[in-house]
């Protein structure tokens, strides 16, 4: 009898072990299939699709286009901008690539947008009047491009059946004190609301927000490099800080937004800060720093998430996500995913950042990118 019981127990344990082995095998195979399908879909997100980028001859477009061509092999990328000379210069880099097309137009011109969006699948909105002093002294023109242009694009994308739109924003849109920031905040709100406006048409809109783009035309690094031989660099305030992001990181954030969005999210990249006096010292260690005072519309520190935004903001490994407050979307599990809600009163600003760019990191970046700083 004990021998029979022992045999039965042994058989039972073998059966349990076999069932566990089969279950574990199924789990691993399922996980691998899900993992591979996920990355296959990410790899093919833009494959054989048509993408249009407004303001595509700017610094962002000159980085987005070659990176996207290399990674996704889209059917076509259309550069939509109003400066024919910049298009002519940019076209020289893609003379033998028939996937890149150029289209003269202005986001202020709704009819032209409708024509440009024929058979377009995805849109990146990079067109903007963005120089802070220029916007302060030309407010009507800034509103026409940044607000009216956004409205035109939203209408046109919905009517032409575009699948997804990602609009580029700025840290100046959070608690704005200048006209540029105010118009970009209005633009952000328009793109968020565009998801409700779209209804059954299905066009999805989201926004990406980041800070000072290192090396881009008109930014502080090429400006300091262009005048450092004079021996004096103008500093508006010794306490001033700014967020720092590379163009490549900006492109990857846009890719992530297209891949992740349900609609209405504002994506905020986690990026380092730096004091402007430290940046100036790295660029021109021998130069004198002359404090000239803050310019019209300029902040001492930039901010990307305000305390008011914190109620609807979730944290992820490499970014934050501000969820839309309309239609109950701020509590939508599909939009939250695996995010962790930030504490009440949380503020993400360039002076309270936990990540700071060191002198060595900036110097290494400058040496690596010296040839293209300020040229795109």
22-40 residue pLDDT tens? 656 666 645 545 444 444 4
Measure the CA–CA gap between 376 and 58, rounded to whole angstroms. Answer: 7
CA-to-CA separations, 19 to 5, 29, 149, in angstroms, rounded: 21, 15, 61
Q: Tell me how crowded residue 9 is: count the other CB atoms within 10 A of its CB.
A: 10
> Of all residues in the chain, what percent carry a pLDDT higher than 90?
81
* pLDDT for the residue 167: 98
Q: Are residues 159 and 171 both part of a single domain?
A: yes
In tens, the pLDDT along 277-318 reads 999 999 999 999 999 999 888 899 999 999 999 999 999 999
Full residue range of the structural domain in which residue 162 is found: 44-372
User: Do 284 and 146 have their domain in common?
Assistant: yes
The verdict on whether 172 is a catalytic residue reads: yes
Residues 205 and 312 in one domain: yes
The CATH number of residue 357's host domain is: 3.40.50.720
Task: Give the C-alpha separation, 350 to 182, whole Å.
Answer: 19
> Does residue 32 sit in the same domain as residue 69?
no
**131 in the same domain as 243:** yes
For 37, the token pair is 């399908």
Q: Do 237 and 173 belong to one domain?
A: yes
Q: Same structural domain for residues 118 and 241?
A: yes
DSSP lists the bridge partners of residue 267 as 208, 321
pLDDT of residue 95: 92
DSSP, res 327: G
Region of poorest pLDDT, from 84-88, 157-161, 197-201: 197-201
Supply the pLDDT for residue 14: 57
Are 359 and 292 part of one and the same domain?
yes
Q: What is the predicted pLDDT for the residue at 7?
A: 52
pLDDT digits (tens, 9 = 90+) for 171-206: 999 999 999 999 999 999 999 999 999 988 999 999
Q: 363 and 326: one domain?
A: yes
What is the token pair recorded at 196? Answer: 């409700």
Domain shared by 179 and 285, yes or no:
yes
Partners of 274 in beta bridges: 242
Per-residue pLDDT for 145 more than 90? yes
CA 150 – CA 289 distance, rounded (Å): 39
Write down the catalytic residue from 86, 130, 160, 172: 172
Question: Do 28 and 55 reside in the same domain of the chain?
Answer: no
Which pLDDT value is given to residue 217?
Answer: 84
Instruction: Read off the DSSP letter of residue 201.
Output: G
What's the number of domains the chain is made of?
Answer: 2
Instruction: Answer yes or no: do 116 and 188 share one domain.
Output: yes
pTM of the model: 0.88
User: Nearest 5°: phi and psi at 306?
Assistant: -90, 170
* Model confidence pLDDT, tens digit, residues 56-82: 999 999 999 999 999 999 999 999 999
What b-and-e string marks burial along 49-79, b requiring 16 or more CB atoms within 10 Å of the CB? bbbbbbbbbbbbbbbbbbbbbebbebebbbb
């Amino acid at each position: 009898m004990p021998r029979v019981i022992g045999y039965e127990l042994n058989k039972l344990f073998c059966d349990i072990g076999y069932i566990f082995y089969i279950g574990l095998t199924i789990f691993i195979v399922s996980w691998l299939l899900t993992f591979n399908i996920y990355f296959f879909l990410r790899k093919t997100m833009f494959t054989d699709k048509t993408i249009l980028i407004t303001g595509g001859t700017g610094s962002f477009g000159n980085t987005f286009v070659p990176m996207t061509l290399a990674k996704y092999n889209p059917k076509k990328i259309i550069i939509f901008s109003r400066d024919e000379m910049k298009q002519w210069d940019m076209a020289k880099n893609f003379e033998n690539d028939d996937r890149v097309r150029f289209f003269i137009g202005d986001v202020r011109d709704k009819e032209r947008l409708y024509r440009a969006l024929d058979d377009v699948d995805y849109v990146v909105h990079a067109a903007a009047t963005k120089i802070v002093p220029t916007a302060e002294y030309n407010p009507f023109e800034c509103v026409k491009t940044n607000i009216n242009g956004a409205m035109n694009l939203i209408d046109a994308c919905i009517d032409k059946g575009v699948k997804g739109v990602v609009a580029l924003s700025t840290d100046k849109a959070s608690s704005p004190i200048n006209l540029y920031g105010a118009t970009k905040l209005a633009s952000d709100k328009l793109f968020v609301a565009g998801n409700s406006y779209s209804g059954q048409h299905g066009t999805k809109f989201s926004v990406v927000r980041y800070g000072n783009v290192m090396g881009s035309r008109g930014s502080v690094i090429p400006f300091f490099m262009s005048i450092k031989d004079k021996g004096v660099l103008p500093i508006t305030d010794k306490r001033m800080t700014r967020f720092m992001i590379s163009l490549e990181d900006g492109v990857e954030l846009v890719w992530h937004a297209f891949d992740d969005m349900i609609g209405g999210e504002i994506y905020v990249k986690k990026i380092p800060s730096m004091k402007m006096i430290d940046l100036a010292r790295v660029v021109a260690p021998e130069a004198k720093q002359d404090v000239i005072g803050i310019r019209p519309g300029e902040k001492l520190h930039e901010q990307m998430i305000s305390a008011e935004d914190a109620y609807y903001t979730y944290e992820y490994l490499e970014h934050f996500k501000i969820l839309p407050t309309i239609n109950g979307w701020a509590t939508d599990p599909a939009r939250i995913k695996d995010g962790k809600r930030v504490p009440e009163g949380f503020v993400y600003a360039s002076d309270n950042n936990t990540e700071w760019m060191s002198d060595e990191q900036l110097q290494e970046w400058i040496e690596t990118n010296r040839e293209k700083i300020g040229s795109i």
